[in-house]
Structure formats: C-alpha cells, structure tokens
Amino acid sequence: MFQDSVYNYIVSKLRNEKIHMTLLDPAKMRPERIGNIGAMAQKAGTSAIMLGGSTHLSMELVDESVLALKKETSLPIILFPAAAATLSRHADALYFMSMLNSTDINYIVGEQVKGAPLVKDFGIEPIPMGYIIVEPGMAVGHVGKAKVIPRDDPELAMHYSLTAQYFGMKLVYLEAGSGASHPVPAKMVREVKQGIEIPLIVGGGIRTPKQAREIIGAGADIIVTGTVVEETEDIFGTLEPIIQEARNG
C-alpha cells in the first residue's frame, strides 16, 4: 500500500514541478499488460496511475488490475471510477468526483451516494474533485449526459471550476474526453487557472510533447494521457518526451 496520503503526495510534488498521470482502462487491456505499462510509465517519469474509463467494469477486473500494478510499480494507484460498482479495496485513493455539467443526477451525486459506504469500508482515500466535460466530450460526455462546455466559452469553464472550489473540492479536472481530436484549448486552461486557487488537471486528446507544453504553459498543474500508450508499442519512447515537457513546464 502507498503509505502517505495521495493528496499530500500530489500537493507536495506540485511545489516543485508539474505532474503527469497515466490513465489505464481495464476495459481495454488485460491486467498483466496494465502492470507492464505501469512499470514503463513509472520509468518514463509519470507520477501516478489513474485506473478507469467510461464503461462499467466488474469489481474483479479492477481488483486484478490494481494488484498487477502494485506488483510492477511503486506509484500511487488512483481510481477514476465510472460508477460505484467499479471500486477496488486495493487502490490507494480515488477521485471522489462529481460531473458538474452532467444533466443526469446519477453522475452528479447518485453514484457517489452508492460509492460512499464502500469507500469507507475499504478505507480508500477519497480526493474530492470537480469533473467538467469540455467539447467534444467523447464517450464520457455521452455516457454522463454532459452539457459540454463549448470550446469557445472559457468563461463558462471558469465559472464551473470556481463552483468546484467553492464546494470545497480539492481538484478541478477539465476533460475533453478520451481520444478527443484536440485537447482542451490553451485559452480555456489559462482562464480557468487564473480564476481558481486549487490545482487544475487537464486531460483528453493530449498526444504530443508540444500539446503537453502548451497546456502546462497555459497553467495546468497536472496533465493526464491515456490513449497514447494504447496506440503504441514503444511506451517509454512515447511517454518520456511528453512527461519531460510537462515536468519542465
């Protein structure tokens, strides 16, 4: 088990550098492959593994994936759940997240009510997070029935982010959706960062070191990539330059 609080680990890392996190989806890869990718991602400099996706997974599969990661890496494993049924007692933390611009109460508070007692029983560290879906939103926007933030409305994204902060959430996540053709616009990242005081995570559609540099340069504290490692055999060679750009940003 990861000994320290994962939230403290994130915040203390952010005092010195920007952070990259690797998202792995148990619906797309077997647990052994997840473990192997986790090990390579750690070597490439990623700071945490997020485990999840937009489909509902069995608890068994999530458990096996967490355990495979625990065997291969010493990184914190943070659940990024689509639903209450996908929690694993072996994880170090989970983003206790609300999709603030969903039109479906289940994604705002319903699944969370189902998940809360499990989080308590399992003793997983919950990290409260405001999850905000930006156009195009992809599968997560569709499944979560999000009223996506238009790419040309950074002010609306900022207002949602400020709402997350005032609710007491510890992090804001601007999400363009996994596999998006373009990441969240730099202008939107900049406006949100200027408006809030809590750390800002940006993900969805980040595939190149240049995109990582732009998003970190615009003010993101943490960037997340998922799809790039699914599309390559050269995990280290693909991730390392992206992570370097992020950390130096």
Summarize as ranges the residues that interact with ligand 1GP (CB under 6 A). 23, 175, 178-180, 203-206, 224-227
Give the nearer residue to ligand 1GP in terms of CB position, either 5 or 108. Answer: 108
Quote the least distance from Cβ 123 to ligand 1GP, whole Å. Answer: 25
How many other CB atoms are there within 10 angstroms of residue 204's CB atom? 29
Give the nearer residue to ligand 1GP in terms of CB position, either 117 or 237. Answer: 237
Sign of CA dihedral 8, 11, 15, 17: positive
Give the nearer residue to ligand 1GP in terms of CB position, either 64 or 175. Answer: 175
Quote the least distance from Cβ 134 to ligand 1GP, whole Å. Answer: 10
- Residue 180, both tokens: 């998006």
Q: Helix-strand-coil percent breakdown of the chain, rounded to 5?
A: 45, 20, 35
Quote the least distance from Cβ 7 to ligand 1GP, whole Å. Answer: 19
Residue of minimal CB distance from ligand 1GP?
Answer: 203
Give the nearer residue to ligand 1GP in terms of CB position, either 205 or 249. Answer: 205
CA distance 72 to 82: 24
Quote the least distance from Cβ 180 to ligand 1GP, whole Å. Answer: 6
Q: Phi-psi category of 240—alpha, beta or left, where left has phi over 0 and alpha has psi -120 to 50?
A: alpha
**Which residue reads 């945490």 in tokens?**
48
